[in-house]
């Protein structure tokens, strides 16, 4: 799957201090690049009320992604469970 990263996502990961969490995020991103269907990734849930938007659980954090019409995956945000819903999807 073709994965693209938004500027907001890159800012989110720059603020990340936990190396264990960063390693788990990296593993999940590598997995997203190799799978053909997003539903095959563990921890994926569709966002209610927002078609084509999904969240992926990584510990106490959530990875916000959008599935494009031509099959590309846009990674938008990586925030804690308490903050993600303030900024994603919007």
CATH of domain 3-87: 3.30.2310.20
β 3-5/73-80 pair status:
parallel
C-alpha 76/C-alpha 21 separation (Å) is 17
Q: Mean per-residue pLDDT for 69-87?
A: 93
Query: What local confidence, expressed as pLDDT, does residue 70 receive?
Result: 86
Q: In the chain, what are the domain boundaries?
A: 3-87
The alpha carbon of residue 61 and the mean position of all alpha carbons in its chain are separated, in whole angstroms, by 10
Tokens for 71, please give them: 């099959």
Structural tokens at position 77? 């945000």
Q: What is the pLDDT of residues 20-76, one digit of tens each?
A: 999 999 999 999 999 998 988 999 999 998 989 999 999 999 999 999 988 899 999
């Amino acid at each position: 799957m073709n994965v693209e990263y938004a500027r907001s996502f890159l800012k989110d990961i720059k603020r990340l201090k936990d190396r264990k969490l960063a390693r788990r995020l990296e593993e999940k991103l590598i997995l997203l690049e190799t799978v053909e269907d997003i539903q095959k990734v563990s921890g994926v849930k569709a966002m209610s009320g927002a078609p084509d938007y999904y969240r992926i659980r990584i510990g106490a954090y959530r990875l916000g992604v959008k599935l494009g019409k031509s099959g590309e995956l846009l990674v938008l945000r990586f925030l804690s469970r308490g903050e993600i819903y303030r900024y994603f999807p919007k």
